[in-house]
Amino acid sequence: MTLRPGGGRAQGHGIAGRETDQASVSSLASSGTATGSSGVRKLVDGLRYIILATWGVYPLAYIAPSVIDDAATAEVVRQVGYSVADVLAKPLFGLLVLAIAIAKSREDGYSVDGTPEEPVAVPDDASELTDA
């Protein structure tokens, strides 16, 4: 979410959201490729290609009205293009980020539900803590 100086939310297809996505990918890339497994590395690479491919729809939608003679049809084509790009880009980005987070968590020893893979001994009462 991008905030305007007046306090309202910025609407539309702004560059600020894309910069945030790019920063997220850079962060994931540095954590995934430096110390991560090849599985995480492949997911991060896939994320880069998904962003490149889905963001490529935005300029096509922007340019489309310049080759269409009817103004009303041109605007509809532009808006449908933006909608298709949004429907493709945002869920795919989110799902790949989720997949990367799950893969990194598994590497760090956590299962999918967020608990450690190995059982942790939990004392029944405080007396077990002092009997060392």
pLDDT computed for residue 67 by the predictor: 93
Residue 8 falls inside a structural domain = no
- Name the stretches of the chain with pLDDT < 50: 1-13, 16, 18, 29, 31-34
Residue 4 falls inside a structural domain = no
pLDDT computed for residue 37 by the predictor: 77
Residue with token string 């293009």? 81
Bin 74: left if φ > 0, else alpha if -120 < ψ < 50, else beta.
alpha
- Segments forming the whole domain that contains residue 42: 38-110
Helix axes 38-55, 15-34, angle to 10 degrees: 160
- Are 109 and 118 in contact by the 8 Å Cβ rule? The answer is yes
Tokens of 74: 């041109």
Compute the distance between CA of residue 37 and CA of residue 103 in angstroms, rounded to an integer: 9
pLDDT, tens only, 33-54: 445 678 889 889 988 998 888 8
pLDDT computed for residue 104 by the predictor: 87
pTM: 0.52
pLDDT computed for residue 81 by the predictor: 93
**Domains in the chain: how many in total?**
1
Residue 12 falls inside a structural domain = no
